[in-house]
Amino acid sequence: MPPADPNTPARKRSPRTGASRPIAYYTGETYAVDDSYGYLVRRLHASLQRHMERRVQSLDLTALQWGPLLLIAQGKGDTAAALARALDIDTGAVTRMIDRLERKGLVQRRRSTHDRRLVHLALTAEGKHAIGLVPFAIAEVLNLHLAGFSDREVRQLKRFLSRMIDNGSAQAGTDTP
């Protein structure tokens, strides 16, 4: 029998129907938080945030403030609604964040000339200067967390994470509350 393809999801035959089904890696009976990839991802996220917080502190930014600035700078959103979608947070929280960034002189609001209900966001000169330094901090923090990984492992990690995101997205329409 040829070796299993490592890219093929593990499957198991149902004893009742004989049908092939994906293996359940976790069960309620044996679940342990320390073994949960969700818990590990959450701890990684907290570590990334903590390290970023230290590095952007000198720019008078919090770890939560540089995200919207970077998205605006890279053309990924120029309205509160677009930023909320990109950051996966509610529009009210983004609006409050924009208020703080505006008070710091990093962002300005511009009412649309085509639709007066629409308010576009733009970086000020100070905002452009501050966000110009953030990618260097991000690269430093990401590289810190990838110490000891090979190029192949980093590419594989990104592929695995992307697949997991795709799996969750594929099920988004079928979730039941």
**Residue 92 clears pLDDT 60, i.e. is over it:** yes
**Residue 4 clears pLDDT 80, i.e. is over it:** no
CATH of the domain at 110: 1.10.10.10
pTM of the model: 0.75
Q: What angle do CA 86, 90, 91 make, to 5 degrees?
A: 85
pLDDT interval class at 176 (50, 70, 90): very low
The reply to whether 33 falls in a domain is: no
**Residue 15 clears pLDDT 60, i.e. is over it:** no
The reply to whether 4 falls in a domain is: no
The reply to whether 105 falls in a domain is: yes
User: What pLDDT is attached to residue 5?
Assistant: 54
CA distances from 68 to 24, 97, 118, 138 (A): 37, 8, 18, 14
**Residue 1 clears pLDDT 50, i.e. is over it:** no
User: How large is the angle between the packed helices 37-56 and 125-145, nearest 10 degrees?
Assistant: 130
> Which residue segment(s) compose the domain that 70 sits in?
42-146
User: What pLDDT is attached to residue 166?
Assistant: 92
Cα 79 to the chain's mean position, in Å? 19
The reply to whether 21 falls in a domain is: no
Residue range 21-48: mean pLDDT, rounded = 89
Nearest alpha carbon to residue 135 among 78, 73, 77, 80: 73
The reply to whether 100 falls in a domain is: yes
Nearest alpha carbon to residue 161 among 140, 145, 148: 145
Tally of structural domains, the chain = 1
Model confidence over 35-82: pLDDT tens digits?
899 999 999 999 999 999 999 998 889 878 999 999 999 999 999 999
User: What pLDDT is attached to residue 107?
Assistant: 97
User: What pLDDT is attached to residue 177?
Assistant: 42
The reply to whether 157 falls in a domain is: no
**Residue 8 clears pLDDT 60, i.e. is over it:** no
The reply to whether 140 falls in a domain is: yes
Residue range 12-29: mean pLDDT, rounded = 67
The reply to whether 152 falls in a domain is: no
Task: Tell me the average pLDDT of the chain.
Answer: 87
Model confidence over 101-154: pLDDT tens digits?
999 999 999 998 888 889 999 999 999 999 999 999 999 999 999 999 999 999
